[in-house]
Structure 1
Amino acid sequence: MCPGLDWPCPPARLLLAVEYRRNLAGLAVYMGQQLAVAVEDLGRLDSSGPPDGNALYERFITWIERKREVPVSRPRGTAGDGWAGPETPGS
């Protein structure tokens, strides 16, 4: 698919994103599994030491689009809202 480029190359990423467009968690799990396989394979093939985990994480995981999380409002009484909490008896 991408001669001379490491998988997942940009065209492979696009195909994976389309295939998993309704299941980003599934894509993350799949790519995590592929990352684990790559670590194992590269560790076996390269006797100079363990593979660079940060580079592999960047290659396999960070390109996955993340949905925006819905912000959760803080409950009353948390720092920053000026409320000190309920009064205790005897205070």
Structure 2
Amino acid sequence: MVSPPRPHLPIRPLWLCRTCAAPWPCATARLTLLREYAHDRVTLLVYLGGLLHDAAGQLHTLNPHDAPEPTQLFDRFLGWALRRPASDSPAAPQP
């Protein structure tokens, strides 16, 4: 019997993926989140912003001298979700 795939959820307060041990959100978690929030990008960004807030505090508490920089955390939690696929971009203005 094949067991169902394990969800790629974070281990708090380390913010590593429970399944693959990559920094969360790992690639699989990102794809899952994009699929779950495909029709509501704003809600995805609000959700990720809350997680970014939690992670920043928890990671700083764990290791205040070697916690990720704010820009690294922003890119990790929100930056990837702000990028829109080329097919979703408005057409470039014609000269």
TM, length-normalised to structure 1: 0.67
Identity rate, percent = 32
Of the three residues 37, 54, 68, the one matched with 1:20 is: 37
Query: Greater strand share, 1 or 2?
Result: 2
Instruction: Determine which structure has more spread, i.e. the larger CA radius of gyration.
Output: 1
Q: Structure 1 regions of 5+ residues with no counterpart? A: 72-91
RMSD: 2.1
Of the three residues 35, 51, 54, the one matched with 2:71 is: 54
Equivalents in 1 of 2:78, 2:25: separation in Å? 10
Query: Greater helix share, 1 or 2?
Result: 2
| Matched positions, count | 72
Measured at CA, do residues 11 and 49 of structure 1 come closer, stay the same or move farther in structure 2, by a change above 3 Å? closer
SS in 1 for 2:55: helix
Measured at CA, do residues 50 and 9 of structure 1 come closer, stay the same or move farther in structure 2, by a change above 3 Å? closer
Q: Structure 2 regions of 5+ residues with no counterpart? A: 1-7, 9-18
Query: Which amino acid is 1:32 matched to?
Result: G
Deviates more, 1:58-67 or 1:5-14: 58-67
